[in-house]
Structure 1
Amino acid sequence: MSSGESESRHGAAHPGDPALRAVVLDVNETLSDFAPLRRRFEETGAPGDLMPTWFAGVLRDGFALTAAGTYADFADLARDGLRALLAQTGGRTGDVDEAAAHILGGLARLEVHPDVPEGVRLLKEAGHRLVTMTNGDPTLTVGLLERAGICGQFDAILGVSGPRRWKPAPEAYHYAVRSVDVRPCEAVMVAVHPWDVDGAQRAGLRGAWLRRGSVHYPRVMSQPAWTAEDLAELARSLPGTRRGGDG
């Protein structure tokens, strides 16, 4: 199935669907551009291509702890993961802890993808309540959105430290929608990661997948209600919403 065929199948509301009242946005890689972190790896003497491996490991460990019924913050898992990877990287010298701190310092300097400000503006103008829900640190989300000049457009800026359950656990999505006083079926989760879209849909939200250059969505996961290349394209394709004062 081509991407266009997928969009025609999954890109429209169905009769009887509740009106969308809220948009829940993932942050890491969905809103934020992680590409500069590759340079941070290189500055420590590690290959830049190690960045996706590190990030995938952080997610793996967060998922595993949630499945086991416990919790750890993103920052702690990110630091532990970096120390382990850098210690195993041949050809580099220097203190592992200093290198990890240098790489993690880049998280506070990331910028949003170029399409994000327009997408946020369009979503807000449509009357949607906007909330971020990240497996990362919500204070970093505040800085990211402030640098983009769009922080004031959001109704809530949240992270999994609130429910102490990493996405894709359903408690994380329910925590997000409760913060803006909507039912799960009245919200859409927007993410670049298929596992996040799938998790949200299994928790009762609708899902929107941002491709950002990717062409493959796993067949084993629930298919997104909407697919778009970026946030601005998605915002233009979502149906109108019931505004906050409507019953």
Structure 2
Amino acid sequence: MGSIETVTLDSYSTLVDVEAVEEALADVVDDPEPVSNHWRSRSLMYTMVANEVDAYDTFYALNRAALEHALDAHGVDLPESERETILETYHELAVFDDVREGLQRLHDAGVDTYVVSNGNPEMLASMVSHAGIEDAIEDTISADEVATFKPNVEIYRHAAARTGTPIDRIAHVSALFYDVLGAKHAGMTGVWLDRGKVPWDGVAGDPDAVVDDIRALDDRLDMDG
């Protein structure tokens, strides 16, 4: 593995826990888990379909459509105001325990660190603020800037341009297998953050590196600080 100058990280499921939306659903749905799973899977599906059929919309808009489909599929009829309240949980998702310290370690080591996400800028701004990581990252980079979602190579190439780093000197860290593979395909070092929830999906290759804690990144990667 070559020397790494810049670290980029995914947001949802990597820095913040999307499973927290179940708590919001539990207030209005008798069995929130299948609705939450349907919502999440549809949301991801919509981003990939949008890439292929040139139907880009913001992640927030696609996430709203996915929630509506999940509610309809499970026979849950909610007024618009309650649907918006559930959607707004994405602005205040719980941050994983290792995130603040892990990012601070990278920052203190002189490593430029960015968030690269499908989330639109407003979502990322609220996520960063709520997580309290403003001082530990350089910036956020949104799919909205190139109107395409992961794992399309364009978002990773755009991230490299935005960071001013050769793409082969960037390590991209994500808990999502397709994001790791997308970054790797684009020329980055693909690092899987194994949060112990699901096994690696080996359908299209393996990650370049695996960590189970963001705090281990500064020791795991060969970085130029």
TM range (shorter): over 0.9
Q: How many percent of aligned residue pairs carry the same amino acid?
A: 25
Partner Cα separation in structure 2 for residue 109 and residue 98 of structure 1: 18
- Is residue 146 of structure 1 aligned with residue 129 of structure 2? yes
Q: Which one has a bigger Cα radius of gyration?
A: 1
Of 4, 14, 28, which residue of structure 2 is paired with 1:30?
Answer: 14
Q: Which amino acid aligns with 1:35?
A: E
Length-normalised TM-score, structure 1:
0.85
Q: Is the 8 A contact 2:153 2:186 kept in 1?
A: yes
Paired position in structure 1 for 2:113 = 130
**Secondary structure in structure 2 of the residue aligned to 1:161:** helix
Paired position in structure 2 for 1:8 = none
Partner Cα separation in structure 2 for residue 215 and residue 41 of structure 1: 22
Of 159, 166, 174, which residue of structure 2 is paired with 1:191?
Answer: 174
The list of structure 1 runs, each at least 4 consecutive aligned residues, that deviate by more than 4 angstroms after superposition, is: none
Q: Which amino acid aligns with 2:72?
A: A
Length-normalised TM-score, structure 2:
0.93
Distance verdict in 2 for CA 1:137–1:46, change over 3 Å: farther
Partner Cα separation in structure 2 for residue 184 and residue 222 of structure 1: 19
User: Where does structure 2 lack aligned partners over 5 or more consecutive residues?
Assistant: none
Partner Cα separation in structure 2 for residue 216 and residue 197 of structure 1: 14
Alpha-carbon RMSD across the aligned residues, in angstroms, is: 1.6
- Is residue 176 of structure 1 aligned with residue 162 of structure 2? no
Partner Cα separation in structure 2 for residue 31 and residue 81 of structure 1: 22
Q: Which amino acid aligns with 1:87?
A: D
Paired position in structure 2 for 1:7 = none
Q: Which amino acid aligns with 1:169?
A: N
User: Where does structure 1 lack aligned partners over 5 or more consecutive residues?
Assistant: 1-12
Q: Is the 8 A contact 1:156 1:179 kept in 2?
A: no
Q: Is the 8 A contact 2:71 2:77 kept in 1?
A: no
Cα-to-partner distance string for 1:106-139 (whole Å, 9 max, x where unaligned):
1111121010011101111222211111111232
Of 73, 97, 103, which residue of structure 2 is paired with 1:88?
Answer: 73
Distance verdict in 2 for CA 1:129–1:34, change over 3 Å: same
Q: Residue 180 of structure 1: CA displacement? A: 1.1
Q: Is the 8 A contact 1:227 1:234 kept in 2?
A: no
Structure number with the higher helix fraction is 2
Q: Which amino acid aligns with 1:85?
A: A
Distance verdict in 2 for CA 1:45–1:130, change over 3 Å: same
Q: Which amino acid aligns with 1:114?
A: D
Partner Cα separation in structure 2 for residue 46 and residue 104 of structure 1: 18
Q: Is the 8 A contact 2:160 2:166 kept in 1?
A: yes
